[in-house]
Amino acid sequence: MDQRLLLYLFGNALERGLLDGSDVRRSIQFLSQPDAALDESIWQALDTTAEALGVSVPKCGMLASELVGALPLDDSDTQLMDALLAYAPNIEDPGEPADEDTSVVVLDHPDLPDVQADEDELVREDDGGTLAFDPPQPANNPDKTAPDVTVNEFIYGDAVDTHLNITDGGLAPGTDATLDFSGKAPSLARHAAGGKKARRKDKAASTDATLKDDPRDSSTLAGILAGEDLVGTSIKLANDDSRASARLHKERYNVERELARGGMGKVLIAKDSDLGRSVAMKVMLHGGQNKDMALRFVEEAQVTGQLEHPNIIPIYDIGRNKANELYFTMKLVRGRTLEDVLKSKRLPNDPRERELTLRDFLEIFLKVCDGMAFAHSAGCVHRDLKPANIMIGGFGEVQIMDWGLAKIVGAPDKRASGLKIDLGNLTDSKLTMDGSLMGTPSYMPPEQARGEITRIDQRSDVYSLGAILYELIAGSPPFTGETVWEVLKKVREEEPVPPSEASEQPHLRELDAVVLRCLEKDRDDRYQSALELADDIRAYLSGKAVSAATYSPLQLMKKWAGRNKLLVGAAAALVVAVTGALLTLDYLNAREVETSIATFLEEGKQQLEKGNLSDARSAYEKVLALAQDHEEAAKQRDIILVEMANAQAQARADAEQQARDEARQKDRDRADTHHAEAKRLLDAAVKSVRDQLDDALKDRVLRREFDPSGFVAASSEVNQAYALDKENPEIDATRSAVTAQQQALELEWNTLAQSLGRLIEAETLTNAARNDIDSAREALGKAKAARERRDETSVSELIKPVFAELMAAMNGARRAEALLEDIADVQAQYHQAREASFDSLLMLADLSALQGDFNQATTWLEQARGTPVDDKRLSAAEEELRRRKEEAGNLSQHLEDGNQAYTAGDYDKAIAHFESAAALRPDDASIAANIRRCQFAKRVSRAEANMTDKQFVAAHAMLAEAEQFVENQPERLDKIESLRREFSAKVTPYYATALRAAINDVDFETAQRLLSEGLRFAPDAAELRDLEIALIARRDKPEGMVLLPARTFAIGSKDAADNNPERTVTPELCYIAMYEVTVEDYADFVDAKGYDDASLWDAQGQAFLSTLRGTRTPAQWDAQLALPKAPVRGVSLHEAQAYARWLSRSSGRTYRLPSDEEWEVAARYGLENPNSVASLYPWGNEWDGGKLMLERRHLAAIGTAVEDVTPSGIYDMAGSVSEWTLGAEALAFRRGASVMMDQTLCARFGRCVKRTQTSPETRSDDLGFRLVMVIGQRE
């Protein structure tokens, strides 16, 4: 056993580069000779090994003696044990080990050191009974010379005794326990066999070593990905001792529940049985079968595990579980994300329920900056900083989470290739993306948003920190949108709104400067480190100047005074203050305590009145902190605690009740579904039986027996509904209805079979009665018509046969009723019989009223009331009888009063009388004609009055209404035409005068209203159209534009050489530019990559582009750039059109090239003067080369030739450069002269009527263009 122990210690020293092979071979040679003495160099090697392992030589000796003492010894072991114990003189006898307190207290707070396993006890067991030892590894420590140690090959000797848990009796006699280093520690196996020399190179000696020197041993990673044991050296037993094997096997982590789940992994809460604490265990989904994903998973664990900082989540362990899934464990942070804290404004589980202030959030933000500064110092960039990846504990702990996208600066990024993401389909800009574009768009720096992976460094994280700080102030990230693509576009191209402006907090100007510096598009303009950012935040919190802001001297003095309030007044009152302070110090202290107590008591009272229990409790606890025995504060505090406990209990009760209610509602919903289906089945069953009964009545034969299957199905559904919701009365009613309907229809079915004979007889009687009624109705109608004609003789003759027919009908119908009365399933036929009886009684009453016998009519109606077929018809007949009684006395009076009112011009009164008469005799056409005559006269009268009062809108409406009552009456038609002519004669002058006054008063709103009304009534009025142009020109004229009115102009030339025939044109209303497009204007298009944007070029334009060679710019572009204010030239028609499309998209308005006709109208006419006469040149009809400043013979800035201007202020239309215009059928024309021409050519081509057809591909050095802006259209 002694040889194996020393071999293990020397093997570790060798692996760490502390010894070479010769040292180990000497030890092995010595140990193979039991009678040899121990060499001093061996103990020196042991001492070196112990120092490297972090323990003392006496400790190593003690461990060795404990191990040897626990096993059977032979004579060869005695010398080694004595020698080992010689180095441990103060260690107790291993046979009587001292009692040790093995309890572990787990403290979870950022200001306390993270509790991990003691370096001498960090041990776990894997699933195969193999002991695995996990030593901590430093993230980056260039000052130490000890090399990195692969986790697989590093164990601690004293842990063997602690975790083997060998019984007092030891192993059974003859058991040979051997150390097996093969596989997990191949170098130890080689040295144990006396192999070749080996020395591990010291990788930690480099002063610039960072995390980019991949700390993983390649064999380790291969083992992880292949599913092998991650860590530890195997100890195997030669024999199969089941008891020892059982003791060796133990599962370290006991999973309690799942905490969260994502696309790559899930996070569990597990219990660490070794340390007795809860941990968070992240498990990779799908067993880590995807090698790239597994590599990322391991990288996340290793990178995070090497960043040991209070504000970075610590990693404890990594491995595979029994299900062969990759996992790593980390600190379990009990709290909420900063994203959730931002919404609630409170710390998680804060008993005070205090609302967090901006200062609180800035203190949290400083901790995030500190954590990121540490990570950056190790060369690590997070790349996915956001509030959702920052955890806040109940006591203000801050932990930076989720390092899955972290990058080691300078190391190759395996994530740079991978999944491609369809940004157009993503809508949540706060979700992390992993692929060729990684991170969270709302917090992503521009270089990351552009996919420039190699440009990402610590300044990229500074941008994300700025985005978080922006959200802490404004409540939302700097850039948001409906889709991820929209957010990324804003990140790359737009400048953020200052957070103080977005949150309406203008006093945060200094924080604006800090945030906007973080969010600079250029990395060099940001803070260069998280430390610089943290320094500015600390300066702001302490009232000092921040480096990102600018201050006036007065502002700096105010900030100094704010930090040194005592010093400001000290110079004037120093002597008095010192003397007074000594005398009143005790008094003031007491007064201050009393004042504070009173203030806190009042605050508690106010908070109680507002119902803020948490704030009230905080106030009373402040009182008790100053006066522990204060009875009122203690009493109120205790009352509040009781109320808060009651509120919590009530909340729990409400939650439980809600759960019960939700379960009950689910049952009700299911019951409603079954109930609805039951009613549907019942209706279907009833309809089916009823249809069969109707068919039987029609065919006079019943062909089958009653079928109850539909009712059985309905009964099944309603019973299921009742089982789920017994308290629903509707369901219970449906249950009864199913049974009742089935029984009733079955009875009706059986009865019908016995009643078909009587049914046939009853139908015969009913049909006869109906024939009599129809005949009587026809005769009665004729009698009424005769009465209207005042033909009483005809009335008498027509009435005689009606009475006999109606009496026969009534008697036959009543006999049919008697035959059908006890047949329950022939309701339709029974109803028909009763209806025939009812109809005959109503007609008898009508007949009596027609004869003037109102008493007999009343008697017939009373009999009809005993036959309740149609109450509405009966009520109508009774009302008709009443009306006829009144009509006899009132009709003539209303007609006389109506005619008198019409003659007097009181049309409303006349209408009222005629409508009363119509109510008495609604079928009288003459009364309706009188009403329409009055309506026409009333509206004509009002229209005339409105025109007199210049109320043209009302007059127009009245005339429109009057036209509805003309009815082709010639005198009414003439009156309408006369009023229309009068209206037209008055409306145009009125609106023209009022509109002109409104324009002169700059009252554009009134002017627009008057214009709309005037054109509505007189759309063809030329005067109003001219005023419309004047209004638009004064109200909407853009800078640098002149309005081109939509009037008719004469253009063209008699000279055929001008290629411009004479004609009249009416251009569309638009604006034309005062100046030609300049070089600097066009340079913006070039700089915006307009030549590379295919959407700006039509098919002909793209064909033209394909002919260009070299850099795509206008001809002689470098030379043109020397004169930025000169007109651009050397551009084809396609380039000019592409520029117009680009400007339209950039400005939001619609621009295009002028048409050939628009250009000539603008050059020859004074556009604002409707009476302007066309000229040959912009200034007149005579040529004057001096107006073009031809003596210069070179281009100058636009507008330099101040006399080359039209009356409307449009420059350079005769000279400067020629201009592109568009003619009919997409022809291109060159218009105007160029100063680079001689006098003769300028005089010829400067004429505004001259045009030259030109190829659209022409790029002449004296050919440019100007633009037209379309009114009322936006891109």
CA dihedral sign, ordered 678, 681, 687, 689: negative
Task: Write down the pLDDT at residue 193.
Answer: 39
Record the tokens describing residue 1002, joined without a space. 């700059």
Can you tell me the distance from the alpha carbon of 619 to that of 625, in angstroms, rounded to the nearest whole number?
10
Check if the beta carbon of residue 1085 is closer than 8 Å to that of residue 1139.
Answer: yes
Check if the beta carbon of residue 1145 is closer than 8 Å to that of residue 1275.
Answer: yes
Task: Write down the pLDDT at residue 244.
Answer: 33
Task: Write down the pLDDT at residue 797.
Answer: 65
Check if the beta carbon of residue 1071 is closer than 8 Å to that of residue 1268.
Answer: yes
Long-range CB pairs of 348-354, under 8 A, 24+ apart, other chains included: 348/392, 348/393, 348/394, 349/394, 350/394, 351/614, 352/614, 352/615, 352/617, 352/618, 353/613, 353/614, 353/615, 354/614, 354/615, 354/618
Task: Write down the pLDDT at residue 456.
Answer: 93
Distances (CA, A) of 9 to 47, 133, 149, 407, 767: 10, 15, 14, 37, 122
DSSP conformation class of 822: T
H-run or E-run covering 254: strand 253-261
Can you tell me the distance from the alpha carbon of 68 to that of 50, in angstroms, rounded to the nearest whole number?
18
Neighbouring CB atoms inside 10 A of 1232's CB total 29
Axis-axis angle for helices 358-377, 530-541 (nearest 10): 150
Can you tell me the distance from the alpha carbon of 356 to that of 614, in angstroms, rounded to the nearest whole number?
13
Q: How far is CA 238 from the centre of its chain?
A: 65
Neighbouring CB atoms inside 10 A of 601's CB total 18
Homologous superfamily (CATH) for 334-560: Transferase(Phosphotransferase) domain 1 (1.10.510.10)
494 torsion bin: left (phi>0), alpha (psi -120 to 50), beta (else): beta
| DSSP-assigned beta bridge partners for residue 439 | 433
Q: Alpha helix (H) ranges present in 1173-1257?
A: 1239-1245
Q: Which residue has the tokens 């004579």?
A: 75
| DSSP-assigned beta bridge partners for residue 1218 | 1263
Check if the beta carbon of residue 318 is closer than 8 Å to that of residue 132.
Answer: no
Record the tokens describing residue 1100, joined without a space. 């002909």
Q: What global pTM score does this model have? A: 0.35
Check if the beta carbon of residue 285 is closer than 8 Å to that of residue 264.
Answer: yes
1127 φ, ψ (degrees, to nearest 5)? -65, 140
Q: How far is CA 918 from the centre of its chain?
A: 64
Nearest CA among 388, 380, 10 for reference residue 215: 380
Task: Write down the pLDDT at residue 72.
Answer: 44
Check if the beta carbon of residue 1226 is closer than 8 Å to that of residue 1089.
Answer: no
Nearest CA among 235, 232, 216, 384 for reference residue 303: 216
- Mean pLDDT, consecutive 10-residue stretches, the chain (1275 aa), reads 48 50 49 46 55 47 41 44 41 38 34 36 32 36 36 30 32 36 36 35 35 41 44 32 36 89 85 92 78 84 89 91 90 91 88 88 96 94 95 90 86 52 49 62 93 91 97 94 91 94 86 96 95 95 90 75 62 44 52 86 90 90 87 89 86 87 90 92 90 74 78 91 90 91 83 63 70 74 67 60 70 69 60 73 76 76 76 81 69 81 86 81 80 87 84 84 84 85 82 78 78 78 74 75 88 94 91 95 96 95 91 93 95 97 93 96 87 90 85 83 91 93 92 90 92 95 94 57
Check if the beta carbon of residue 50 is closer than 8 Å to that of residue 60.
Answer: yes
Q: How far is CA 197 from the centre of its chain?
A: 65
Three state DSSP letters for 431-478: CCECCCCCECHHHCCHHHHCCCHHHCCHHHHHHHHHHHHHHHHHCCCC
Beta strands 1218-1222 and 1263-1264: pairing type? Answer: parallel
Check if the beta carbon of residue 877 is closer than 8 Å to that of residue 858.
Answer: no
Task: Write down the pLDDT at residue 846.
Answer: 78
Task: Write down the pLDDT at residue 41.
Answer: 53
Record the tokens describing residue 501, joined without a space. 């402006």
Helix, strand, coil share (%) of the chain residues, nearest 5: 55, 10, 35
Record the tokens describing residue 522, joined without a space. 């250029």
Indicate the CATH number for domain 1036-1270. Answer: 3.90.1580.10
Can you tell me the distance from the alpha carbon of 789 to that of 946, in angstroms, rounded to the nearest whole number?
44
Distances (CA, A) of 644 to 346, 633, 641, 724, 846: 17, 16, 5, 38, 81
Nearest CA among 1129, 1236, 1246 for reference residue 1193: 1236
Record the tokens describing residue 688, joined without a space. 């089916």
Distances (CA, A) of 768 to 762, 765, 772, 831, 837: 10, 5, 6, 15, 12
Can you tell me the distance from the alpha carbon of 1083 to that of 383, in angstroms, rounded to the nearest whole number?
36
What would you report as the CA-atom Rg of the chain, rounded to the nearest whole angstrom?
52
Check if the beta carbon of residue 700 is closer than 8 Å to that of residue 756.
Answer: yes
Check if the beta carbon of residue 617 is closer than 8 Å to that of residue 644.
Answer: yes
Q: How far is CA 977 from the centre of its chain?
A: 61
Record the tokens describing residue 306, joined without a space. 């090497």
184 φ, ψ (degrees, to nearest 5)? -90, -25
CA dihedral sign, ordered 1090, 1091, 1094, 1097: positive
Instruction: Give 960-1015 as a DSSP string.
Output: HHHHTT-TT-HHHHHHHHHHHHHHHHHHHHHHHHHHHHHHHTT-HHHHHHHHHHHH
CB-based contacts of 850: which residues, under 8 Å, 6+ apart? 780, 783, 784, 787, 795, 799
Distances (CA, A) of 1214 to 4, 918, 1189, 1190, 1201: 106, 80, 11, 11, 10
Identify the three-state secondary structure at position 1235: coil
313 torsion bin: left (phi>0), alpha (psi -120 to 50), beta (else): beta
Can you tell me the distance from the alpha carbon of 124 to that of 156, in angstroms, rounded to the nearest whole number?
12
